[in-house]
Amino acid sequence: MKHIACLTAAAATMAGGILYVASALGQTDGDASPIYGIKIPAGYRDWRLISVKQLAGNKLKQLRAQLGNDIAIEAFREGKLPFPDGAIIAALHWNEASSELDNQVLAAGFPGAGLESVFAGSAVNVQFMVKDAKKYAASGGWGYADFTNGKPGDQALHEKCFPCHVPAKDHDYVFTHYAPTP
């Protein structure tokens, strides 16, 4: 019995040491983004809408929606900059899709208007910005995460996040602006 207790204690000590070394090296578990250690927040699909946008180019046609947790939404509504710690912004990206039926209905309802319908098709990825001014001081107070099919992108991808947001420094590194109420 003593032998089992000693082996259990040794295994626990070794596991703790491995976790400490991984933590000290800045590594994260497989569910968290590299560099920043961010996991997909539970329930983010229930957050409120901040804004939507379309991204279109030669080879890219996407619809994007930005959602915010309660802290982010309050900051957007009040125009509070910098964003407070705890604010989280989610950016959901989909490839554009269209429907011939929708287009026929639009053509019948609005003859000659040339209207076409697009909607969210296949999912591309989801990205998060997490505000923690102390923890993420080196990246403007924000941590970044990019997930495709629930898996975080690699380190090279995450190394591009903060430099991409530098042009939005005057808006606390956030490109999105709160959409007006219709």
Pairwise CA distance, residues 88 & 77, whole Å: 14
2: confidence class by pLDDT, cuts 50, 70, 90: very low
Pairwise CA distance, residues 164 & 173, whole Å: 9
Structure tokens at 59: 């080879």
Q: Is the pLDDT of residue 59 over 80?
A: yes
Q: Is the pLDDT of residue 4 over 80?
A: no
Pairwise CA distance, residues 92 & 97, whole Å: 15
pLDDT at 14: 38
24: confidence class by pLDDT, cuts 50, 70, 90: very low
**Does the structural domain 33-171 have CATH classification 3.50.70.20?**
yes
pLDDT at 74: 98
Pairwise CA distance, residues 70 & 76, whole Å: 10
Q: Is the pLDDT of residue 105 over 90?
A: yes
- Top pLDDT among 120 and 30 is at 120
Structure tokens at 42: 């539970």
29: confidence class by pLDDT, cuts 50, 70, 90: low
User: In whole angstroms, how far apart are CA 80 and each of 47, 50, 68, 72, 77?
Assistant: 19, 14, 14, 9, 8
State percent of the chain over pLDDT 90.
83
Burial of 46 (0-12, 13-18, 19+ CB in 10 A): exposed
Q: Is the pLDDT of residue 63 over 60?
A: yes
In the 8-state DSSP scheme, what is residue 106?
A: H
Pairwise CA distance, residues 95 & 173, whole Å: 25
pLDDT at 25: 35
pTM of the model: 0.81
Instruction: Kindly report the backbone phi and psi dihedral angles of residue 147, in degrees, each rounded to the nearest multiple of 5, phi listed first.
Output: -125, 135
pLDDT at 37: 98
Radius of gyration of the chain (CA): 22
Tell me the residue ranges of DSSP E strands in 17-167: 48-56, 61-68, 88-98, 118-131, 142-148, 151-152
Q: Is the pLDDT of residue 122 over 70?
A: yes
The average confidence (pLDDT) of the chain is 88
State percent of the chain over pLDDT 70.
84
Contact 134, 144 (CB under 8 A): no
Q: Is the pLDDT of residue 27 over 50?
A: no
User: In whole angstroms, how far apart are CA 84 and each of 1, 79, 81, 89, 175?
Assistant: 53, 11, 8, 12, 16
